[in-house]
Amino acid sequence: MQPAESLFTRQYATDRFREQTDPVLALENINVNFDGFQALTNLSLNIGVGELRCVIGPNGAGKTTLMDVITGKTKPQSGKAFYDQSIDLMRLEPIEIARRGIGRKFQKPTVFEALTVFENLEIAQKNEKSVWASLRAKLSGEQRDRIDDMLVTLRLTGERHRRAGLLSHGQKQFLEIGMLLVQDPHLLLLDEPAAGMTDAETEYTAELFRSLAGKHSLMVVEHDMGFVETIADHVTVLHQGQVLAEGSLREVQANEQVIEVYLGR
């Protein structure tokens, strides 16, 4: 692998995506108010097809709320949210949004601890059925192969028959990312995916996400600046529910307002 070269190619590719294609996600003037508390204010944000976007910002900035809006968990008081040009997210229930290809990973891993790693991926792949019906239904050879490939990608091949509850925190994070990927989502939303990971796991997560960009569009919320630096094409800085700055990491880090609020100067 040649990281420098692949990084360049990817940057070039995503710049082209941005120029040539319509956004996979277009948010316009989103306002979310929780009983008088304004969590998001006139938030507008576009994500290009195949782009890997990082969203950063201090605690309470509204990052998780933003994901709640995209996935239909929170309905804004006003604004527009379109996915794939024509799909109006404001009109859809969370389950319909997920079915249309928006996958989400929450901050804390939520795997089925009593089931094996393989079974967790199996259930995720056949997500339309109940857990037990899903485990009874026989896997096709093709489905089995896909899970095997995913285990390799996740570096969990040796753990396939282990109960998920016995995995390390980082391995659980990987398993949950895999549970998303076997559903082949179009747009992935990942809320602090590297939280609690070791340095080596964080590094591998960055590598994995880079390999996903292009095929998928990704929005990643992350605090680890080293991680953001390795993966991001484009960074959006949120502060008090508003977009404070947008651009390359270098650009936003040089932004006076960002320095003031983010670095607390």
Distance of CA 44 to the CA centre of its chain: 18
Q: How far is the CB of 205 from Mg ion (least distance, A)?
A: 17
Q: Indicate which of Mg ion, ligand ADP, none lies near residue 132 (CB less than 5 to 8 Å, by partner kind).
A: none
Q: How far apart are CA 221 and CA 189, in angstroms?
A: 8
Helix (H, G, I), strand (E, B) or coil at 243: strand
Instruction: Express the helix, strand and coil content of the chain in percent, nearest 5 each.
Output: 45, 25, 30
CB of 240 to ligand ADP, least distance (A): 9
57 binds, among ligand ADP, Mg ion, none (CB under 5 to 8 A by kind): ligand ADP
At closest approach, how far in Å is the CB of 234 from ligand ADP? Answer: 18
Choose the one of Mg ion, ligand ADP, none that binds residue 226, judging by a C-beta under 5 to 8 angstroms depending on kind: none
Say whether residue 64 binds Mg ion (CB under 5 A). Answer: yes
* 25 CB burial (10 A radius; 0-12, 13-18, 19+): buried
Site residues (CB under 6 A) for ligand ADP? 34, 37, 39, 57, 59-65
Bridge partner residues of 189 (DSSP): 104, 219
Burial environment of residue 141 by CB neighbours within 10 A (0 to 12, 13 to 18, 19 or more) = exposed
Min dist CB 95 to ligand ADP, Å, is 20
Q: Which of ligand ADP, Mg ion, none lies near 34, with the C-beta cut-off 5 to 8 A by kind? A: ligand ADP
Q: Which is nearer to Mg ion, 63 or 105 (CB)?
A: 63
Nearest to 102 by CA among 36, 183, 30, 192: 183
Nearer CB in complex with ligand ADP: 135/195: 195
Residues of this chain that interact with Mg ion (CB under 5 A) are 63-64
